[in-house]
Amino acid sequence: MNLELAAKRLAELGHSTRLGIFRHLVRCGPNGCPVGDVQQILDIPASTLSHHIGRLVSVGLVEQRRDGRVLYCLPMFEAFDETIEFLAAECCQGSYEIDETCAPSSKTQQRGRGRAR
């Protein structure tokens, strides 16, 4: 991952509506949930929701899949994990002391392999 992509992903998650959408999709799990459910649960107008989902899709944090007439939004856990790992990759590299608090969390490592939360 490069700095530019990490910055774009973090910028999109830095908006409260998009962060709420992404958090809801994470709660739904790897199979995501229908756009209509996201709209209803988060009480977001359809056009606004479409705009925000489009921004998350553009940076690879969300994918959309159609099943018949239903459009699903899926959280891209690998992209999210990659972004978090990018942030933590050089943790404490400039430090003279070894500190276990700098190690990437085991939750991130587990989710990448087994989608645990």
What does the DSSP assignment read for 12-51?
HHTSHHHHHHHHHHHHH-TT-EEHHHHHHHHT--HHHHHH
Report the C-alpha gap between 65 and 58 in whole angstroms.
14
Quick check: 100 pLDDT over 50?
yes
What is the sign of the dihedral through the CA atoms of 90, 93, 98 and 99? negative
Number of domains in the chain: 2
Tell me, what's the pLDDT at 41?
96
- Coil, helix or strand at residue 59: coil
Quick check: 109 pLDDT over 60?
no
Domain that holds residue 93: 78-114
Across the chain, what does the average pLDDT equal?
87
Same domain, residue pair 26 and 54: yes
Same domain, residue pair 65 and 82: no
CA atoms within 13 A on the CB side of 17: 16
Same domain, residue pair 9 and 61: yes
Smallest Cα–Cα separation from 33: which of 68, 75, 72, 77? 72
Same domain, residue pair 42 and 12: yes
Render pLDDT for 45-69 as a digit per residue (tens, 0 to 9). Answer: 999 999 999 999 999 999 999 999 9
